[in-house]
């Protein structure tokens, strides 16, 4: 086989017989997958396998400030005061903005929208934007997907006579005195009573919208219709923000995907058409993650997120077609520009010695600096290729902005916090971060973060690792197994698509597929199995040394392939090793 980065295969421990005996009605593979995901009680298993919205979605009034928030919104609607939804420029923030605006307008509110510019304003609220909306007559601001760290800006809004309701899902300040004044709808603030802590920004906005609908004088049928009409947005924003897809998020996305398949939202219909997504087949979380969300995000990365917002709320087919084509084009530009920056950086990296952290800095002419909206994507590509923490930093008019992505062995936000003395702003979580710093602090920051990475990773095994749900005899790969695994959809954080491993599988046929022969299709058979197809998309070069008769160990997904009216189980290749290899 060709020389590829060696990956460590980690098979999850097999379930004990005592656990299996507790649930005799469930297949052992199902129980193994549930156990691997920490779903071990009868109640949680029932919720996971039967994610019924009516039964398991929580009452929005379990939020401690929800009653106060709804009363304040209703007061401003009755007074005919202008309400401004203060959004964010990523797919989570844009879907949350569109959802809340749509519900408020249906409830006869006078609504405006403000989404900050990624480059000139950055994330969250700012005084200039607040001055602008206040001067335009706004009497109530509702934040979505931001605001929990904007106490100063919210105090400023109130000083101008503007009320503020905060809906967010990001980590609050360490000190409670730094919290903005209420109403605050955020599941992870201190002493919050809402039982599910992992909602996306769109999920929190949905809970406020749901509470407003419940309090309205609409008929029960109209209330249900209004809620059902925004579930497509909830699914897109939740999957796009990569929050864990367990608990209530799984329930929201499962219902939202069904709504997305039959959506009457003309902007989404035209976007799906323009991007040729799934060609009429049912949409899943993968379609959102890799096809829909990137196009919505491309608006904020390449220009302004208002384009994506307008697409989601338009009722005009001609406008929807125009906006969908524009977003599709922006996404192509985004892909090309991201690849160009990646190649520029990758050409400088020594693969034999990439270091403990890869910090790439653009320090040339400001008029051609790397696009701030793309540096996080580039950092992700570098991190994925070299399995090292990666920072991409670009020059700005006022200094530098950076974005980072990391590996499980290195908590990036902890490291960034240790460098906070030389940073102006920062935020993030263990796997990703964003930050800004003054020009004079660049070298200090690089030195600090490089030293930290070296100390923390000196004993770490940084080879990429593949976590495998179970080892199977290859004869177990069949239609029944594929249908069984489908019960675990939708996939996402905390519930990734199950991976399996089989040993001593023989190659009985090899074909290259695709216009350029870039895909590989293997026909595989074990001693006790029928031949099964295994597909490796874009992997023909990677496995070019495979030969007929080779005996391999393989890690794979199990899927149903539908082609020309036929349905059959197939394996989707994740990794391959020679069977003689000690894995």
188-217: per-residue pLDDT in tens? 998 999 999 999 999 999 999 999 999 999
The strands making up 184-185's β-sheet, listed across from edge to edge, are 110-114, 82-86, 138-144, 163-167, 184-185
| pLDDT, tens digit, 9 for 90 and up, residues 101-146 | 999 999 999 999 999 988 888 888 999 999 999 999 999 999 999 9
Q: Are strands 184-185 and 163-167 parallel, antiparallel or unpaired?
A: parallel
Please say whether the beta carbons of 392 and 378 come within 8 A: yes
Alpha carbon distances (Å) from 483 to 65, 309, 493, 559? 43, 37, 21, 8
- Same domain for 59 and 41: no
pLDDT reading at 3 higher than 50: no
- Give a yes or no: residue 70 inside a domain: yes
- Same domain for 381 and 489: no
Please say whether the beta carbons of 100 and 127 come within 8 A: no
Q: Where does the pLDDT of residue 581 fall: very low under 50, low under 70, confident under 90, or very high at 90 and above?
A: low
User: Which of 420, 426, 466, 427 lies closest to 444, judged by CA?
Assistant: 420
Q: What is the pTM of this model?
A: 0.91
What is the rounded CA–CA span in Å between residue 443 and residue 454?
16
- Same domain for 512 and 438: no
| pLDDT, tens digit, 9 for 90 and up, residues 214-264 | 999 999 999 999 999 999 999 999 999 989 999 999 999 999 999 999 999
- Same domain for 472 and 412: no
What is the rounded CA–CA span in Å between residue 334 and residue 303?
10
Q: Where does the pLDDT of residue 381 fall: very low under 50, low under 70, confident under 90, or very high at 90 and above?
A: very high
- Same domain for 423 and 364: yes
* Token pair for 582: 């000690």
- Same domain for 525 and 404: no
- Give a yes or no: residue 288 inside a domain: no
pLDDT reading at 506 higher than 70: yes
Mean pLDDT of 442-448: 95
* Token pair for 276: 């040729």
Please say whether the beta carbons of 167 and 208 come within 8 A: yes
Domain count, the chain: 3
Q: For a pLDDT cut of 90, what percent of the chain falls above it?
A: 83
Buried b (16+ CB within 10 A) or exposed e, 452-486: bbeebbeeeeeeeeeebbbebebebbeeebbebbe
Q: Where does the pLDDT of residue 5 fall: very low under 50, low under 70, confident under 90, or very high at 90 and above?
A: low
Q: Three-state DSSP class for 37? A: coil
| pLDDT, tens digit, 9 for 90 and up, residues 256-275 | 999 999 999 999 999 999 99
User: Which of 312, 203, 220, 307 lies closest to 264, judged by CA?
Assistant: 312
Domain limit, last residue, from 418, 435, 457: 457
Alpha-helical (H) ranges within 115-193 are 127-135, 151-159
Q: Where does the pLDDT of residue 548 fall: very low under 50, low under 70, confident under 90, or very high at 90 and above?
A: very high
Domain limit, last residue, from 389, 423, 457: 457
Identify the bridge partners of residue 394 per DSSP, sorted by sequence position.
401
Q: Three-state DSSP class for 475? A: helix
Q: Where does the pLDDT of residue 545 fall: very low under 50, low under 70, confident under 90, or very high at 90 and above?
A: very high
Please give the pLDDT value at position 11: 97
| pLDDT, tens digit, 9 for 90 and up, residues 138-185 | 999 999 999 999 999 999 999 999 999 999 999 898 888 999 998 999
Q: State the DSSP code for 219.
A: -
82 phi, psi to nearest 5 deg: -75, 135
CATH number at residue 441: 3.10.310.30
What is the rounded CA–CA span in Å between residue 281 and residue 284?
9
pLDDT reading at 430 higher than 50: yes
Mean pLDDT of 512-524: 93
Q: State the DSSP code for 27.
A: -
Number of neighbours of residue 412 by Cβ within 10 angstroms: 25
Q: Are strands 532-536 and 566-578 parallel, antiparallel or unpaired?
A: parallel
Asked whether the CA dihedral 371, 374, 376, 380 is positive or negative, the reply is negative
* Token pair for 270: 């035209």
* Token pair for 213: 């609908």
CATH number at residue 125: 3.90.1640.30
Please give the pLDDT value at position 1: 37
Please give the pLDDT value at position 562: 81
Give Cβ neighbours of residue 313 (< 8 Å, ≥ 6 apart): 98, 101, 102, 267
- Same domain for 89 and 32: no
What does pLDDT average to over the chain?
93
- Give a yes or no: residue 37 inside a domain: yes
User: Which of 437, 438, 433, 434 lies closest to 411, judged by CA?
Assistant: 433
- Give a yes or no: residue 167 inside a domain: yes
- What DSSP element (H or E) covers 70? helix 66-78
Cα–chain center distance at 496: 12
Domain limit, last residue, from 203, 222, 250: 250
- Give a yes or no: residue 342 inside a domain: no
List the domain range (segments joined by +) for residue 146. 55-250
Give Cβ neighbours of residue 581 (< 8 Å, ≥ 6 apart): 553
**Residue keyed to tokens 């990666």:** 390
| pLDDT, tens digit, 9 for 90 and up, residues 310-343 | 999 999 999 999 999 999 999 999 999 999 999 9
- Same domain for 527 and 445: no
- Same domain for 234 and 108: yes
Mean pLDDT of 436-459: 94
Identify the bridge partners of residue 8 per DSSP, sorted by sequence position.
465
| pLDDT, tens digit, 9 for 90 and up, residues 69-100 | 999 999 999 999 999 999 999 999 999 999 99
- Same domain for 100 and 85: yes
Alpha-helical (H) ranges within 373-498 are 375-386, 412-418, 442-457, 479-485
pLDDT reading at 412 higher than 60: yes
Mean pLDDT of 402-415: 93
Q: Three-state DSSP class for 560? A: strand
- Same domain for 226 and 372: no
Exposed/middle/buried for 561, CB within 10 Å: 0-12, 13-18, 19+? Answer: middle
- Give a yes or no: residue 35 inside a domain: yes
Q: Where does the pLDDT of residue 2 fall: very low under 50, low under 70, confident under 90, or very high at 90 and above?
A: very low
What is the rounded CA–CA span in Å between residue 492 and residue 422?
35
What is the rounded CA–CA span in Å between residue 216 and residue 311?
27
Please give the pLDDT value at position 345: 95
242 phi, psi to nearest 5 deg: 60, 35
CATH number at residue 544: 2.40.50.460
- Give a yes or no: residue 344 inside a domain: no
Please give the pLDDT value at position 523: 96
pLDDT reading at 283 higher than 90: yes
- Give a yes or no: residue 536 inside a domain: yes
Give Cβ neighbours of residue 399 (< 8 Å, ≥ 6 apart): 424, 436, 437, 438, 439, 441, 442
Give Cβ neighbours of residue 480 (< 8 Å, ≥ 6 apart): none
- Same domain for 442 and 542: no
């Amino acid at each position: 086989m060709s020389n590829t980065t060696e990956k460590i295969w980690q098979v999850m421990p097999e379930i004990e017989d005592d656990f299996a005996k507790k649930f005799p009605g469930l297949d052992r593979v199902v129980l193994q997958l549930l156990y691997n995901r920490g779903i071990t009680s009868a109640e949680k298993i029932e919720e996971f396998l039967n994610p019924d919205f009516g039964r398991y979605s929580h009452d929005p009034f379990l939020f401690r400030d929800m009653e106060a928030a709804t009363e304040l919104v209703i007061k401003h609607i009755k007074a005919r005061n202008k309400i401004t939804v203060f959004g964010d420029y990523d797919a989570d923030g844009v879907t949350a903005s569109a959802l809340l605006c749509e519900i408020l307008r249906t409830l006869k509110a006078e609504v405006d929208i403000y989404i900050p510019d990624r480059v000139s304003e950055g994330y969250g609220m700012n005084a200039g934007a607040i001055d602008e909306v206040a001067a335009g007559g706004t009497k109530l601001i509702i934040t979505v997907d931001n605001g929990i760290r904007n106490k100063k800006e919210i105090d400023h809004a109130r000083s101008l006579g503007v009320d503020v309701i905060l809906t967010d899902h990001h980590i609050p300040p360490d000190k409670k005195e730094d919290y903005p004044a209420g109403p605050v709808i955020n599941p992870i603030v201190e002493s919050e009573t809402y039982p599910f802590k992992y909602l996306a920004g769109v999920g929190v906005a949905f809970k406020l919208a749901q509470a407003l609908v419940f309090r309205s004088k609409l008929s029960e049928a109209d209330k249900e219709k209004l809620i059902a009409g925004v579930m497509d947005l909830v699914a897109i924003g939740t999957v796009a923000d990569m929050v864990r897809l367990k608990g209530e998020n799984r329930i929201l996305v499962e219902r939202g995907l069904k709504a997305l398949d039959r959506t009457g939202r003309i902007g989404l219909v035209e976007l799906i058409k323009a991007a040729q997504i799934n060609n009429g087949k049912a949409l899943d979380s993968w379609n959102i993650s890799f096809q829909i969300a990137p196009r919505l995000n491309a608006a904020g990365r390449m220009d302004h997120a208002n384009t994506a917002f307008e697409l989601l709320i338009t009722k005009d087919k001609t406008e929807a077609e125009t906006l969908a084509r524009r977003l599709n084009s922006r996404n192509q530009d985004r892909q090309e520009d991201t690849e160009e920056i990646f190649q520029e950086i990758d050409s400088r990296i020594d693969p034999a010695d990439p270091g403990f952290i890869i910090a790439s800095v653009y320090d040339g002419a400001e008029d051609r600096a790397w696009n701030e909206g793309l540096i996080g994507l580039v950092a992700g590509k570098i991190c994925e290729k070299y399995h090292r923490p990666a920072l991409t930093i670009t020059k700005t008019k006022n200094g530098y902005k950076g974005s980072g992505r990391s590996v499980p062995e290195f908590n990036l936000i902890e490291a960034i916090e240790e460098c906070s003395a030389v940073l102006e702003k920062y935020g993030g979580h263990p796997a990703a971060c964003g930050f800004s710093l003054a020009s004079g602090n660049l070298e200090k920051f690089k030195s600090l973060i490089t030293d930290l990475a070296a100390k923390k990773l000196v004993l770490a095994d940084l080879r990429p690792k593949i976590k495998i749900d179970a080892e199977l005899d290859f004869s177990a790969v069949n239609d029944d197994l594929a249908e069984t695994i489908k019960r675990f959809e939708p996939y996402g954080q905390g519930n990734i698509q199950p991976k399996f491993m089989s040993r001593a599988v023989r190659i009985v046929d090899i074909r290259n597929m695709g216009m350029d022969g870039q895909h590989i299709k293997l026909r595989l058979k074990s001693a006790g199995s029928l031949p099964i197809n295994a597909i490796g998309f874009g992997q023909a070069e990677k496995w070019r040394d495979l030969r007929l008769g080779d005996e391999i160990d393989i890690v794979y997904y199990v899927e149903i392939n539908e082609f020309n009216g036929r349905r059959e189980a197939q394996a989707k290749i994740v990794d391959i090793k020679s069977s003689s290899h000690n894995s």
